[in-house]
Amino acid sequence: MSKDALRSNLEKLHRELAAARHLDKGTHEQLAEVAAQIERILAEAESESAAPVDAKSTRDEVEATALRFEAEHPQFAQILSEITDTLAKLGI
Protein backbone atom coordinates (compact mmCIF):
# COMPACT_ATOMS: atom_id res chain seq x y z
CA MET A 1 0.00 0.00 0.00
CA SER A 2 2.75 2.49 0.88
CA LYS A 3 4.49 1.99 -2.49
CA ASP A 4 1.17 2.71 -4.18
CA ALA A 5 0.76 5.85 -2.07
CA LEU A 6 4.30 6.93 -2.93
CA ARG A 7 3.65 6.31 -6.64
CA SER A 8 0.39 8.27 -6.42
CA ASN A 9 2.08 11.23 -4.71
CA LEU A 10 4.88 11.15 -7.25
CA GLU A 11 2.28 11.31 -10.04
CA LYS A 12 0.67 14.32 -8.30
CA LEU A 13 4.07 16.00 -8.13
CA HIS A 14 4.62 15.41 -11.85
CA ARG A 15 1.14 16.77 -12.69
CA GLU A 16 1.73 19.91 -10.60
CA LEU A 17 5.15 20.41 -12.19
CA ALA A 18 3.67 20.10 -15.67
CA ALA A 19 0.91 22.59 -14.86
CA ALA A 20 3.05 25.11 -12.95
CA ARG A 21 3.62 28.09 -15.19
CA HIS A 22 4.62 30.37 -12.30
CA LEU A 23 7.77 28.49 -11.21
CA ASP A 24 11.17 29.89 -11.94
CA LYS A 25 13.63 27.60 -13.71
CA GLY A 26 15.70 26.86 -10.58
CA THR A 27 12.66 25.85 -8.53
CA HIS A 28 11.35 23.69 -11.34
CA GLU A 29 14.73 21.96 -11.68
CA GLN A 30 14.94 21.38 -7.92
CA LEU A 31 11.49 19.78 -7.85
CA ALA A 32 12.30 17.69 -10.91
CA GLU A 33 15.48 16.40 -9.22
CA VAL A 34 13.51 15.49 -6.07
CA ALA A 35 11.01 13.63 -8.28
CA ALA A 36 13.86 11.76 -9.99
CA GLN A 37 15.31 10.73 -6.62
CA ILE A 38 11.93 9.42 -5.50
CA GLU A 39 11.60 7.49 -8.76
CA ARG A 40 14.99 5.86 -8.05
CA ILE A 41 13.81 4.88 -4.55
CA LEU A 42 10.67 3.30 -6.04
CA ALA A 43 12.72 1.44 -8.64
CA GLU A 44 15.04 0.12 -5.93
CA ALA A 45 12.10 -0.94 -3.77
CA GLU A 46 10.53 -2.81 -6.68
CA SER A 47 13.66 -4.40 -8.16
CA GLU A 48 16.64 -6.15 -6.67
CA SER A 49 18.81 -5.07 -9.61
CA ALA A 50 18.23 -1.31 -9.30
CA ALA A 51 21.19 0.84 -8.30
CA PRO A 52 21.29 1.57 -4.56
CA VAL A 53 19.96 4.94 -3.47
CA ASP A 54 20.73 6.85 -0.29
CA ALA A 55 17.05 6.86 0.70
CA LYS A 56 17.52 8.56 4.08
CA SER A 57 19.35 11.43 2.44
CA THR A 58 16.60 11.69 -0.17
CA ARG A 59 13.89 11.71 2.50
CA ASP A 60 15.76 14.46 4.36
CA GLU A 61 16.07 16.46 1.14
CA VAL A 62 12.37 16.05 0.33
CA GLU A 63 11.48 17.21 3.83
CA ALA A 64 13.79 20.24 3.62
CA THR A 65 12.39 21.14 0.20
CA ALA A 66 8.83 20.93 1.53
CA LEU A 67 9.71 23.34 4.34
CA ARG A 68 11.32 25.82 1.93
CA PHE A 69 8.27 25.77 -0.35
CA GLU A 70 5.66 26.06 2.37
CA ALA A 71 4.98 29.78 1.97
CA GLU A 72 5.48 30.33 -1.75
CA HIS A 73 4.35 26.99 -3.17
CA PRO A 74 1.97 25.34 -0.69
CA GLN A 75 0.68 22.78 -3.20
CA PHE A 76 4.20 21.43 -3.70
CA ALA A 77 4.91 21.57 0.04
CA GLN A 78 1.80 19.46 0.72
CA ILE A 79 2.74 16.84 -1.88
CA LEU A 80 6.34 16.69 -0.63
CA SER A 81 5.13 16.32 2.96
CA GLU A 82 2.92 13.41 1.91
CA ILE A 83 5.89 11.84 0.13
CA THR A 84 8.06 12.26 3.24
CA ASP A 85 5.38 10.58 5.37
CA THR A 86 5.09 7.72 2.91
CA LEU A 87 8.86 7.23 2.81
CA ALA A 88 8.85 7.04 6.60
CA LYS A 89 6.07 4.44 6.50
CA LEU A 90 8.21 2.40 4.11
CA GLY A 91 11.01 2.53 6.66
CA ILE A 92 13.11 4.88 4.57
Q: What is the pLDDT of residues 13-70, one digit of tens each?
A: 999 989 988 888 988 898 898 899 888 888 887 776 555 567 778 888 888 888 888 8
Number of domains in the chain: 1
User: Residue 87's pLDDT band (boundaries 50, 70, 90)?
Assistant: confident
pTM of the model: 0.76
Confidence bin at 82 (pLDDT 50/70/90) = very high
Average pLDDT (72-92) is 88
Cα dist. 61→21, 54, 84 in Å? 24, 11, 9
What is the extent of the structural domain holding 20? 2-89
Cβ neighbour number for residue 31 with a 10 Å cutoff:
22
Which residues, in sequence order, are CB contacts of 52 under 8 Å at separation 6+?
A: 44
pLDDT at 11 over 90: yes
Q: What is the pLDDT of residue 53?
A: 64
Whether the per-residue pLDDT at 12 is higher than 90: the answer is yes
Q: pLDDT at position 48, please?
A: 60
